[in-house]
Chains A and B, each alone.
Chain A
Amino acid sequence: MADISLKNINKKYPNGFHAVKDFNLEIQDQEFIIFVGPSGCGKSTTLRMIAGLEEITSGELLIDGKLMNDVEPKDRDIAMVFQNYALYPHMTVYDNMAFGLKLRKVPKDEIDRKVREAAKILDLEKLLDRKPKALSGGQRQRVAMGRAIVRNPKVFLMDEPLSNLDAKLRVQMRTEISKLHDSLGATMIYVTHDQTEAMTLGTRIVVMKDGVVQQIDTPANLYQKPCNLFVAGFIGSPQMNFLDGKLNDDCTSIQVNGATLQVPTAKAKALNEKNYGGKEVILGIRPEDIHDSQIFVATQSSSVIEAKISVYELLGAEVYLYFDYAGTQVTARVDPRTTARGGDTVQFALDMEKAHFFDKETELTITN
């Protein structure tokens, strides 16, 4: 398998559009890297540059130490799986998986060995003689994966491979891709706009926006220590709540919509050291860090706000309470046993130990 190195990669189109800006990343052998971000952020373009489907405007792409910028896609030893796969309708599963190798004039016995190996990994052995129309959606997707596996590539590139599947099948295939990564021990790069897919599959995640890498980190670190307002808002569902506030002179408290919330000592110290005393900042708090239980409100009396619930949503294992506060819609994720309902005025305690503070101008994290 392979190490991949992307050094100062840029993609600029002839019309001047700068799609990817100074992208730097070292991918270790067998890593499962996710590129995530909203549409138009440059994640697919970056993947396509690695594949060789898009020319690299500047910078260096190395696979196993070899410069790949001018190497033809077919000679890069990669395999791709895309969102819209099609199976050859008149061919059996076996032939569908073998077709790419036949085009490349691979010897027949080698094709046979590779197809049977891939079929075994994907649990398709009993279906090799079937035609695509006799397969379920999940089986078809596995055949599409099989076409990539038979190439025995150094790197697997996947661009939103599950986007066209229904929710149930997507969860099932997510697990299968994860298992596949473990069994093949392959280096995988996976593009998605779905942060749940990113969080569950990746060993590391690259968050992108407007062609710029925002943060590269493990799923847990991205969630707990986002580097800026964008990452904080993008990772996590429902997304983090953001409230405008003003710190007091020694940063020990913050005024939000008339309420004074106490800032924990360590965070206050960090804010003070960075000269945020008396300044306006953005307070970030995740929905699960807003509590409505009486005990929590009583013990966290220095961080309590009061609001009228606009919407109550029961999801089974949890309840989402929506309310307007300081001109912003806020979401609290609370215990399903809550007695709060739509229209009620409720006291909420914010777990300020878990609060995040962002600079209002740069939108960078001040403290996590």
Chain B
Amino acid sequence: MNFEEKKDKLLEQLNRATGINFEISDTGLSDEETLNKLKEMIIHFNAVDSKSGLYRLYLRGELAYSDAVSSLHRFHIEENGIRQVFYLESQADYTKEAVSLLKSLLPDSKDVVLEVDNKHIVIIINYESIPSKEEIVQIANSYLDMLEAEAFTSFKLSYSKSVNTFKELPASYKDSILAMNIGNTFNSNGRIYCYDDLGLGRLLYNIPEEEVEAYLNKHINIDLLSQIDEETLNLLDSFFANDLSLAETSRKMFIHRNTLIYRLDKFADLTGYDVRKFSDAITVKISLMLYNYIRTQK
């Protein structure tokens, strides 16, 4: 498409957004600058033309706070107020039913259900007081269960801290997306990811792949890790989750204490790391997380 065609198309879009016929006089701008200016105008007019458009562009950072804030009054959006952003990701393209269902669960006009793309939806819920973690997890679980039971669509959900002002929303949105990406990398079987709970994952996510491989080669190399059966991996997960307690792990996993000891010994023979020792446990925990990271990247 040449410049003239692109320009005409953008002018047509601008006409649809504003109801005004624009013409371009000699501006002294280059072709590229002219097209960019037109795109900016479309974004701006689309944004101020609908509440969801405003939120969408503002969250993505495509609309400056100073531009967005001037439209708040028009859409009855309060600048101050406690809000919680939820970022939802579906396995397959979601259906209209999923969006209708979420809107029905959130009938308050202050709350927002925003379609980001075919796989992502953002929900912004207003609260009277700062919601507790239990409240957030409960509501998140109920949305996910409802979407599966009623709209037959499987979603994951991530969230960050609740915010007190409109200004903080884009940061919370970004953190939620990051939580989803890190969660999918280090805990792909998870369902709800909280930015504040990412722990080691947040740190390890930023390590370059070659550094990861170097670490694994120094401690437990990838070939060795790939030989460990899932039963042992599950046991190690449970052992770490139960603060390296043999009694608690065997109770939770419904296995005999001696069986657990036998399997940990076997793991120690294979890798040279005895996870009953704190320092070895840390090395194994990090190695397993990095191994997951490598597998997800590939």
B296 near A15 with CB under 8 A, answer yes
User: In the complex, which residue of chain A has the Cβ closest to the Cβ of B138?
Assistant: A84
Hey, which chain A residues are within 8 Å of B231, CB to CB? 210
Known: A74-B152, A86-B105. A13 touches B188 (CB 8 A): yes
Q: How far is the CA of A51 from the CA of B145 in the complex (A)?
A: 13
* Stretch from A22-30, A75-83, A289-297, A308-316 that touches the partner: A75-83
Q: Mark A68-110, 1 if CB is under 8 A from B, else 0.
A: 0000111000011111111011110000000110011000000
Hey, which chain B residues are within 8 Å of A322, CB to CB? none
Any B CB within 8 A of the CB of A202: no
B150 near A103 with CB under 8 A, answer yes
**A91 touches which of B104, B142, B152 (Cβ 8 Å):** B104
Any B CB within 8 A of the CB of A65: no
Q: How far is the CA of A100 from the CA of B105 in the complex (A)?
A: 13
B189 near A80 with CB under 8 A, answer no
What bracket does the count of chain A residues touching chain B fall in?
Answer: 35 or more
Any B CB within 8 A of the CB of A363: yes
B256 near A14 with CB under 8 A, answer no
Within 8 A of A (CB), among B226-252: 230-231, 234, 237-238, 252
- A-B residue pairs in contact (CB < 8 Å), sample of 28: A13-B188, A15-B295, A17-B189, A17-B230, A19-B189, A38-B253, A51-B152, A73-B153, A80-B149, A82-B148, A83-B141, A84-B138, A84-B141, A84-B144, A88-B104, A89-B105, A90-B104, A91-B104, A99-B101, A103-B97, A103-B101, A104-B97, A147-B150, A210-B230, A233-B254, A234-B254, A282-B256, A363-B256
Q: Mark B206-242, 1 if CB is under 8 A from A, else 0.
A: 0000000000000000000000001100100110000
User: In the complex, which residue of chain B has the Cβ closest to the Cβ of A48?
Assistant: B154
Within 8 A of B (CB), among A97-154: 99-100, 103-104, 147-148
Main secondary structure of the interface of B (DSSP, over half): helix
A83 near B150 with CB under 8 A, answer no
B101 near A73 with CB under 8 A, answer no
User: In the complex, which residue of chain B has the Cβ closest to the Cβ of A230?
Assistant: B254
Hey, which chain B residues are within 8 Å of A230, CB to CB? 254-255
**A85 touches which of B146, B152, B154 (Cβ 8 Å):** B146
User: In the complex, which residue of chain B has the Cβ closest to the Cβ of A88?
Assistant: B104
Known: A53-B152, A230-B255. A84 touches B104 (CB 8 A): no
In the complex, the 3 A-B pairs of residues with the closest C-beta atoms, listed nearest first = A82-B145, A73-B152, A86-B142
A14 near B188 with CB under 8 A, answer yes
User: In the complex, which residue of chain A has the Cβ closest to the Cβ of B226?
Assistant: A16
Hey, which chain B residues are within 8 Å of A40, CB to CB? 234, 237-238
Q: How far is the CA of A91 from the CA of B256 in the complex (A)?
A: 51
Q: Mark A327-368, 1 if CB is under 8 A from B, else 0.
A: 000000000000000000000000000000000000100000
User: In the complex, which residue of chain B has the Cβ closest to the Cβ of A210?
Assistant: B231
Within the complex, what minimum Cβ distance (angstroms) separates B220 from chain A?
Answer: 16
B146 near A16 with CB under 8 A, answer no
A82-B149, A148-B149, A229-B256 given; name 11 further pairs at CB < 8 Å.
Answer: A14-B188, A17-B230, A18-B230, A19-B189, A38-B252, A48-B154, A82-B145, A86-B139, A103-B97, A229-B255, A233-B254
Q: How far is the CA of A99 from the CA of B150 in the complex (A)?
A: 9
Within the complex, what minimum Cβ distance (angstroms) separates A47 from chain B?
Answer: 11
Within the complex, what minimum Cβ distance (angstroms) separates A145 from chain B?
Answer: 11
Q: Mark B104-140, 1 if CB is under 8 A from A, else 0.
A: 1101000000000000000000000000000000110
Any A CB within 8 A of the CB of B143: yes
Any B CB within 8 A of the CB of A32: no
Most buried by B among A210, A230, A239: A210
